[in-house]
Amino acid sequence: MRLVVRLRRLFRLAAAPAWAGPTVVGLGLLAAVLEGTGLVLFIPLLQSLGASPPQPGRWQPMFDRILSPIPHHYLTAFLVGALCVSIVLKNAVHLANTWVTRYIDGLVAHRLRSRVFDQTISSCIDYRVENRRTDIITTIANNTWKVSQGLSLAYRLMVCLCTFGVFVLLMLLISVRLTFFSMIFLLFAAMAIRLATRRADETGKAVVEENKQFGLRMWESINSLQLIRAFAQESYEHDRFVQTSDRVRRRLLRLDMLWATPGPVSEISITILIGALVLIAESASIGIAALAAFLSLLYRLQGPTRELLQSKIALDGLAGAIDDVDEYLRTTQTPYLSQGYLPAPALKTAVEFRDVCFRYAPDQPLALQDVSFSIPAGKTTAIVGESGAGKSTVMALLFRFMDPTSGEVLADGMPLPCFELRSWRKRLSLMSQEVYLFNDTIAANIAYGDFDAGQNELRQAARIAKADDFIRSLPEGYETQIGDQGMRVSGGQRQRIALARTILRNPDILLLDEATNALDGGTEQAFQIALEQYSHNRTVVVIAHRLSTVQAADQIIVMSKGRVIEIGPPDQLLKRAGHFSKLHEFQNGRVAMGAN
């Protein structure tokens, strides 16, 4: 029963083309019929060679009727020819079936991978926060393959069942008694194998978990190579890696051992059975030719019997991976943000936060509490506040990476969920503290902001971001490969490339979240001047810890512990002797102390 439920879920998840199942099973059935027919042809062949006289039985009149038009002296040659043709046809059908199965395998895995990837990038769940980055890589790279393997196994299971059925039918035609005896014997053997391998699904689930741990170890070690070397923790990391890898090896070995059990057990059982049948055949009085055909059928039944049992164990072993993909697709399906059909128009008046509260998870405190303010169009708004005040959360809500827990964010009076999500996000461009660059050329990384932009626009964006000079000084200029996460250029250079990418996007609303924290003083000042020109008549929202970078803003929002505590133009806030002016004094004092 559990197998049926599991198979139904597997078919739903794999969503193979409608023709796939019937084709694979149909071809499998045809191969079984061809093979069975070939084996049954041994009866008239042996009889024609005089090895056994014709015996009364269900099949004898049938042979007599089919073979009567063939002249007697051609009969042996005809039967040998028919036998060869059936074997050739059976193998051709078998080969075709293998090709079809491989094609479906690849197609299903490819579609599933694409679906998992699509949902990963479209869902609003942030897996870096959920601590599941490496899990997703295992799900996409490993487990989607395993679902397609599971589907092939399910087809194989059905084909084996059909082959088994065809062979048993032919055996019944030869002798009901011997067939009945054989089936009871095989049933006991199958039950013994099932008992010995009943832990396959538990082991399969453990393999999935161990694989995820293994993925995590690999990911973390490769990403923190410098840290490991700097802290001289090579042997600690080596031990951790070896232990994790060894756990995967042991689980896989256990699964392989379980999988290998049915082969020898079924072969030994059938050999014992053949011996027993030879001993009791005399009482069944079916004749040498029929007995030879019966035993050949029984011997060939070994393959499907073994495969039936192995497919079942292998399917149990894949259950963990199938569950993983199924669960992943279900969880990433629901948390899409609701969206309207309206394309977001250019911002005319303002973006407004109205009584916004936000918490990252139900069991966590509010990250934003009753936050209300307005970001006027065409002006620069700076958000300042101590670490953890909620500045990045405001940015994330503006971008609609998530929605407020209560309250609303409106653009020109329209709640953001009224707009089609992508069209709203296309109006914005974000440059955050965390810079991510692709392993590609500098030009390709900047062009990511707008693939339609020409060379001139690309260079203009680089000039504004103060990146053009250093890029041109590199031997390969804009065509320089920057390596994984831009590791071949410095932190400040990475930041300037990312800024150029943001600027190339030419957004209505430019969001800069600590965008200049890796720039040296001179470059930052030059960047500020260029940015001022660039932001003329553009809506800019800046987050900065260094107040020097926000002096030129039209409005400053001061946040503390998730609340807005001050709003106003910088000069007014400075005069007010409030939180902002204290911050200002503190930073100036610190600068002065640093200067001394």
Ligand X SMILES: Nc1ncnc2c1ncn2[C@@H]1O[C@H](COP(=O)(O)OP(=O)(O)OP(=O)(O)O)[C@@H](O)[C@H]1O
The answer to the question of residue 392 lying near ligand X (CB under 6 A) is yes
Within 261-287, where are the H helices? 262-284
Interface residue with ligand X among 389, 462, 541, 553 (CB under 6 A) is 389
The answer to the question of residue 129 lying near ligand X (CB under 6 A) is yes
Minimum gap (Å) between residue 143 Cβ and ligand X? 26
Minimum gap (Å) between residue 564 Cβ and ligand X? 12
The answer to the question of residue 277 lying near ligand X (CB under 6 A) is no
Interface residue with ligand X among 364, 473, 533, 596 (CB under 6 A) is 364
Sheet with 380-385, side-by-side order of all strands: 428-431, 509-513, 539-543, 380-385, 555-560, 563-568
Strand 428-431 versus strand 509-513 pairing type? parallel
* CA–CA gap between residue 378 and residue 381 (Å, rounded): 10
496 and 522 in contact (C-beta within 8 Å)? no
Q: Which stretch, 286-294, 321-329, 383-391, 490-498, contacts ligand X (CB under 6 A)?
A: 383-391
Q: Which stretch, 92-100, 265-273, 297-305, 359-367, contacts ligand X (CB under 6 A)?
A: 359-367
DSSP reduced 3-state for 565: strand
The answer to the question of residue 367 lying near ligand X (CB under 6 A) is yes
According to DSSP, residue 401 is labeled S
Minimum gap (Å) between residue 511 Cβ and ligand X? 12
Amino acid (one-letter) located at 412: D
Minimum gap (Å) between residue 364 Cβ and ligand X? 6
Residue number with CB closer to ligand X (320 or 385): 385
Q: Which stretch, 66-74, 149-157, 380-388, 451-459, contacts ligand X (CB under 6 A)?
A: 380-388
Minimum gap (Å) between residue 126 Cβ and ligand X? 6
The answer to the question of residue 360 lying near ligand X (CB under 6 A) is yes
The answer to the question of residue 430 lying near ligand X (CB under 6 A) is no
For ligand X, the binding residues in 513-532 under the rule CB under 6 A are none
Phi-psi region of 400 (alpha: psi -120 to 50; beta: other; left: phi over 0): left
Neighbours of 504 (CB within 10 A): 24
Residue number with CB closer to ligand X (382 or 447): 382
The answer to the question of residue 391 lying near ligand X (CB under 6 A) is yes
The answer to the question of residue 432 lying near ligand X (CB under 6 A) is no
The answer to the question of residue 501 lying near ligand X (CB under 6 A) is no
For the chain, helix, strand, coil in percent to 5 are: 65, 10, 25
**Three-state SS annotation for 234-247:** HHHHHHHHHHHHHH
User: Site size for ligand X, by CB under 6 A?
Assistant: 12
The answer to the question of residue 403 lying near ligand X (CB under 6 A) is no
Per-residue DSSP letters for 90-156?
HHHHHHHHHHHHHHHHHHHHHHHHHHHHHHHHHSS--TTTTT-HHHHHHIIIIIHHHHHHHHHHHHH
Minimum gap (Å) between residue 515 Cβ and ligand X? 13
Closest to 270 in 3D by CA, of 292, 310, 313, 303: 303
Neighbours of 569 (CB within 10 A): 12
Minimum gap (Å) between residue 551 Cβ and ligand X? 19
The answer to the question of residue 36 lying near ligand X (CB under 6 A) is no
The answer to the question of residue 404 lying near ligand X (CB under 6 A) is no
The answer to the question of residue 131 lying near ligand X (CB under 6 A) is no
The answer to the question of residue 388 lying near ligand X (CB under 6 A) is yes
Binding-site ranges for ligand X (CB under 6 A) = 129, 360, 364, 367, 385, 387-393
